[in-house]
Amino acid sequence: MIVIKRNGSEVGFDITKIIAAITKANDTVDESSRMTPIQIQRIAQSVELSCQKMNRSPSVEEIQDLVEHQIMAHGAFEVAKNYITYRYTRSLVRKSNTTDDKILSLIECCNEEAKQENSNKNPVVNSTQRDYMAGEVSRDLSERILLPADIVEAHREGIIHFHDSDYFAQHMHNCDLVNLEDMLQNGTVITGTLIERPHSFSTACNIATQIIAQVASNQYGGQSISLTHLAPFVDVSRQKLRGVVLSEMEAIGARPTEEQIDKIVEDRLREEVRRGVQTIQYQVVTLLTTNGQAPFVTVYMYLNEARSEREKQDLALIIEETLLQRYQGVKNEDGVWVTPAFPKLIYVLEEDNIHEDSPYWYLTKLAAKCTARRMVPDYISEKKMLELKGDVYTCMGCRSFLTPDRFTDAGIGNIANAGNYEPGKHKYYGRFNQGVVTINLPDVALSSGGNLDRFWKIFDERLELCHRALRCRHDRLKGTPSDVAPILWQYGALARLKKGEVIDKLLYNGYSTISLGYAGLYECVKYMTGKSHTDPSATPFALQVMQRMNDKCAQWKAAENIDYSLYGTPLESTTYKFAKCLQRRFGVIEGITDKGYITNSYHVHVQEEINAFDKLKFEAQFQALSPGGAISYVEVPDMQNNLEAVLQVMKFIYDNIIYAELNTKSDYCQECGWDGEIQIVEENGKLIWRCPKCGNTDQSKMNVARRTCGYIGTQYWNQGRTQEIRDRVLHL
């Protein structure tokens, strides 16, 4: 059994250390109050048994809590008092250098929790370590100075999660929709250099990747771009290539027909589109931003976003090439084609591509083929989004959605000074999210003891705590001068404000959103009702919980003119943190706190047997109540030889749910060449990845791709998330 030390490093469980610690406390009291060696041995054994029941690696603090409890249970109150006093004294000493210890453990790469904090960050490289070091300092400043003590304590106890506290000290926001159209059509500035409107498609793609990198380095969440914004440059290249071809023909005295010229031009154009798309894919995968990772970028593919039939056809050409290249993958260090994590792709299902007789059905078939092999694209239903949101637009990264545009109705106008603003037309690109705070729903339920009246009272109190925490995020951004991130606020990605101008007007009137996240609806409902929220008798309570959070967001929005929105949190490392906190606060409760993870947002529990269509249909009603962002998935086996089934799922998505994805597996062992599923096994109480063919367990010598929380992860996962991945059942 592995134990997590305070600095994040791992050691083996040693019962003699527990016996020694209790014995020291025992020796400090009068002989009449002392425990016997047999009692001390029993306490240590009970603690060991409790740790084993956790089904994960306990922390030193958790072990010490168990020791305290057992000493008290044996009636040795004087011993317990001295043990607690000693712990408190040592904690005061540690407080002075906790940040230093964490930073040193990061540099020496012995902090296992930090290694597994982000499945797309390599914790060994200098850029990641530098970001983690800065993050520890920022987190320390935030917790000691910038945030109220009760919010900090609630975050530490896992009652809420204050996301990205390692970036809070800076005036940074979460995620955004990049106004790529404005930047390409009207020019931008990158590191003091003027970038004018590109004169070819390939140049536009190159500039787009530079914009992506700059944006990623000036915020901490995801970003999205639309291929529609690149589509006009296909015709720019077409006209340019036509001129070149005509000049070449004239130079050799040739007299080709118009059809022949068109054929030559379109062939060359196809090659330029291929190179441009390749630039985006390879640049995004190979870029390392200032936070030590590839940009969390989503590429949006929506045919009906095009403004003319010519542009739609050119957009289809770009989409086709994007899907073809993603299907192929990228080469790893062994030269083997593997699944890349980025860019994430979203394909909109619409009337022009969802039926066999639709003009762009060939793209949908290609998307299905790509999904079966590479897990992308994900799918947005034009039909359901129009029905529920009244408009169709992409999310900001993996799932965070803006509220519908209300500028025209409110008479707000072009407050961002965007160069492509059109009065009367909805605006989504150039908008952003201010940040996220997540409520731990199972903690609300467990704190109520199952009493319904008490549940709603505690729920309201916790929601107000989240509200105040969200206001901290909002207030931290107020007064931010545009100069802190010129690419965002001055040169078109989000706005074109003047130098020195503050961004405050973009924080109100619905220009940006701020997200109330939630996690563990399944466990919450299971504890309160004794049943899964999929049970018809329990579903109404689950919907009540969702509605309560929506009502609070509406109430806060009406009072403050800030667009609070409910958001299905994509827990990655926090699923493990919440699970550990619940076990520490309430013990191990079967079916509720007996795992190293809690269920993401409203999802059906990963172990629950349910077919793909029932799962999507059930979760659709919760997605409708999660307007700030949500995504549903179905877990599927290798579907490369069953594309018809993939297409049936896609058609079901179109008719039933806004946003969904299919999860499969895409692995490769660099030691033996195995390209089947790399397995999760337990070794010395720890979950590890192991090649079933050669037994390789070195993660640096394998490529593992799994959907983690909307994005595909390819590096490391903590023990809680790894257990969740192992526990997933197939839905098809």
Average the pLDDT over 614-643 and give the result: 96
Active-site annotation holds for 174: yes
Among 213-217, 286-290, 545-549, the range with the most confident prediction by mean pLDDT is 545-549
User: How much is the pLDDT for 711?
Assistant: 81
pLDDT digit string (tens) for 414-460? 999 999 999 888 899 999 999 999 999 999 999 999 999 999 999 99
- Find the catalytic residue in 54, 395, 396, 691: 396
Q: Is 496 among the domain residues?
A: yes
Average the pLDDT over 128-134 and give the result: 68
pLDDT digit string (tens) for 376-388? 999 999 999 999 9
Active-site annotation holds for 61: no
Q: Which of 599, 618, 634 is the last residue of a domain?
A: 599
The span from the CA of 732 to the CA of 716, in Å, is 27
Higher pLDDT, 205 or 32: 205
- Beta bridge mates, 228: none
Q: Is 419 among the domain residues?
A: yes
Average the pLDDT over 627-633 and give the result: 96
- Find the catalytic residue in 120, 400, 532, 573: 400
Average the pLDDT over 185-194 and give the result: 95
Active-site annotation holds for 400: yes
Average the pLDDT over 18-23 and give the result: 91
Taking 90 as the threshold, does the pLDDT of residue 96 lie above it? no
Active-site annotation holds for 253: no
The span from the CA of 600 to the CA of 518, in Å, is 8
User: How much is the pLDDT for 316?
Assistant: 98
Is 506:523 a contact under the CB 8 Å cutoff? no
- Find the catalytic residue in 83, 429, 567, 716: 567
The span from the CA of 156 to the CA of 578, in Å, is 10
Average the pLDDT over 10-27 and give the result: 89
User: How much is the pLDDT for 94?
Assistant: 55
Higher pLDDT, 99 or 566: 566
Q: Which of 50, 76, 96 is the last residue of a domain?
A: 96
Residue 127's pLDDT band (cuts 50, 70, 90): low
User: How much is the pLDDT for 7?
Assistant: 63
The span from the CA of 374 to the CA of 339, in Å, is 6
Active-site annotation holds for 398: yes
Is 434:512 a contact under the CB 8 Å cutoff? yes
pLDDT digit string (tens) for 102-113? 656 555 555 555
- Find the catalytic residue in 205, 398, 466, 650: 398
Is 249:208 a contact under the CB 8 Å cutoff? no
Q: Is 658 among the domain residues?
A: no
601-602-607 Cα angle (round to 5): 95
Q: Is 18 among the domain residues?
A: yes
3-class state of residue 270 by DSSP: helix
User: How much is the pLDDT for 237?
Assistant: 98
Q: Is 237 among the domain residues?
A: no
Provide DSSP, 107-128. HTT--HHHHTS-TTB-TTSHHH
- Find the catalytic residue in 35, 54, 172, 175: 175
Is 226:300 a contact under the CB 8 Å cutoff? yes
Residues 313, 314, 317, 321: is their CA dihedral positive or negative? negative
Is 277:334 a contact under the CB 8 Å cutoff? no
This prediction has a pTM of 0.86
Among 613, 240, 565, which Cα is nearest to 435's?
565
Q: Which residues in 395-465 belong to E strands, given as ranges? A: 432-440
User: How much is the pLDDT for 105?
Assistant: 59
Which helix (H) or strand (E) covers residue 51, if one does?
Answer: helix 37-53
Active-site annotation holds for 396: yes
pLDDT digit string (tens) for 476-526? 999 999 999 999 999 999 999 999 999 999 999 999 999 999 999 999 999
Q: Is 414 among the domain residues?
A: yes
Residue-range definition of the domain harbouring residue 42: 1-96
Active-site annotation holds for 126: no
Q: Which of 65-69, 109-113, 530-534, 689-693 has the lowest mean pLDDT?
A: 109-113
Q: Which of 78, 96, 114 is the last residue of a domain?
A: 96
Please count the other Cβ atoms lying within 10 Å of the Cβ belonging to residue 584: 18
Contacts of 457 (CB under 8 A, 6+ apart): 448
Percent pLDDT > 70 in the chain is 92
The span from the CA of 523 to the CA of 199, in Å, is 55
Is 719:596 a contact under the CB 8 Å cutoff? yes
Contacts of 230 (CB under 8 A, 6+ apart): 180, 184, 201, 204, 205, 208, 276, 318
- Find the catalytic residue in 292, 710, 713, 720: 710
Q: Is 128 among the domain residues?
A: no
- Per-residue burial over 347-363, b = 16 or more CB atoms within 10 Å of its CB, e = otherwise: bbbbebbbeeeeebeeb
pLDDT digit string (tens) for 604-622? 999 999 999 999 999 999 9
Active-site annotation holds for 119: no
Task: Compute the mean pLDDT over every residue in the chain, rounded to the nearest whole number.
Answer: 91
Residue 90's pLDDT band (cuts 50, 70, 90): low
Active-site annotation holds for 329: no
Percent pLDDT > 90 in the chain is 71
Count: domains in the chain: 2
User: How much is the pLDDT for 710?
Assistant: 76
Q: Is 312 among the domain residues?
A: no
Average the pLDDT over 189-204 and give the result: 96
